[in-house]
Amino acid sequence: SQQGEEDPQALSIQEGENATMNCSYKTSINNLQWYRQNSGRGLVHLILIRSNEREKHSGRLRVTLDTSKKSSSLLITASRAADTASYFCATDRRSGNTPLVFGKGTRLSVIA
Amino acid sequence: DVKVTQSSRYLVKRTGEKVFLECVQDMDHENMFWYRQDPGLGLRLIYFSYDVKMKEKGDIPEGYSVSREKKERFSLILESASTNQTSMYLCASSLSPGTNYGYTFGSGTRLTVV
């Protein structure tokens, strides 16, 4: 089944630096979503970008979408220790009413 | 604060037991989902439901069943628990068909089958 794949698998940065995570997917989508998961907890929805959008901002988050390359990136600016978590991209499988398919995630560690 | 509530955070069951994982949402969402999460495998969809008494198989339904008798409640049933069903189970809900809205997840149930 279609699945977003995040890159890198793990990322370690210093507090105050920017963190960039990438997601690639295989087939056409309606939209792409990013989620965050703190250790051992449920996922929290961060941002949704539609297939006709190229960039979206939410606070310190910036998401881009390149449908020609079937890829998306999530940028967290001025990272904080509290941003330490796993980040997942999720896509629908095709046009229509189908559940989200999640990637395996990027584990971000922000060192104070 | 709207939320999805999973009945247990941690659960230990014996092989062969019938296990019920309960999920309740208070947002009047149409859609509900059960995923399991395993290291290196990410989230995998077990079952989902777009309406009361409706259910659809996901990618890994074997060994599981579900029940949705009321809109707010979606139960996952392990008919005869096995050790390979040891996992983190995540319930989610969303507002409408399709993926135009984000999913709201519960805190997860970490199930250990011994």
Candidates B31, B90, B99; nearest CB to A31 = B99
Tens-digit pLDDT profile for residues A66-101: 999 999 999 999 999 999 999 999 998 666 667 899
Residue of B nearest to A100 (CA): B99
Identify the helix (H) or strand (E) that includes residue A21: strand A19-24
pLDDT at A6: 86
Give the best residue of B99, B101, B105 to mutate against chain A (max A CB count within 10 A): B99
Name every residue whose Cβ is closer than 8 Å to that of residue B82 and which is 6 or more positions away in sequence: B15, B63, B113
Identify the band that residue A40 occupies on the pLDDT scale cut at 50, 70 and 90.
Answer: confident
Beta strands in B19-99 (DSSP E): 19-21, 23-25, 31-38, 42-49, 56-57, 64-70, 73-78, 87-94
Please give the pLDDT value at position B2: 63
Q: Compute φ and ψ for A83, nearest 5 degrees.
A: -80, -10
> What does the pLDDT average to over B24-29?
93
Q: Do B99 and A98 touch (CB under 8 A)?
A: yes
Tokens of A17: 């630096």
Q: What pLDDT band is residue A4 in, cutting at 50, 70 and 90?
A: confident
Q: Do B59 and A100 touch (CB under 8 A)?
A: no
Q: How far apart are CA A75 and CA A79, in angstroms?
A: 10
* pLDDT tens-digit series, residues B58-101: 999 999 999 999 999 999 999 999 999 999 999 999 987 666 78
Which chain B residues are closer than 8 Å to A35 by Cβ? 102-103, 105
Q: Looking at the partner chain, which of A88, A99, A104 has a beta carbon nearest the beta carbon of B33?
A: A99
Structure tokens at A28: 């056409």
